[in-house]
Amino acid sequence: MAKSRKFAGLRKGSVEMLNFFAEKLLTSLPLLKLKEGHFVVIATEGWEPKRFVIQLGYLNNPEFLKLLKQAEEEFRFSQEGALAIPCRPDELQQILSAREI
């Protein structure tokens, strides 16, 4: 699949990468009443998709960044609403639990 030109040149964990994802999240999400510094993703694989509210600090987590890269390759960030992540809910929960931000 074609890679996003904007994402391809960014260094992992760089301020530019964080800004890229923050911009994508802000433009793709409807106005929701979320606690400041949080965003919504949906783990799409498995029996039932599950919604997660995640702190922005996870944009520095290497395992979470791998999932975002997979989401970019699979969905090209073209979906509306919450950001879809191509993993099972239990896998995402494990990443979020294993490493505190």
Alpha helices (H) along 29-88: 62-75
Cβ neighbours for 101, distance < 8 A, ≥ 6 positions apart: 55, 57, 58, 60, 61
Full-model pTM: 0.63
Which one-letter amino acid corresponds to residue 28? S
CA distance 47 to 12: 31
- pLDDT tens-digit map of 55-71: 888 888 899 989 888 88
pLDDT tops 80 at residue 13: no
Give residue 2's pLDDT: 44
For the sheet containing 38-43, what is the strand order? 50-55, 38-43, 83-85
**For residue 67, which amino acid is it?**
L
Query: For residue range 26-84, what is the model confidence (pLDDT) as tens digits?
Result: 655 555 567 788 888 889 888 888 999 888 888 888 999 898 888 888 777 666 677 88
The structure tokens listed for 43 are 């783990």
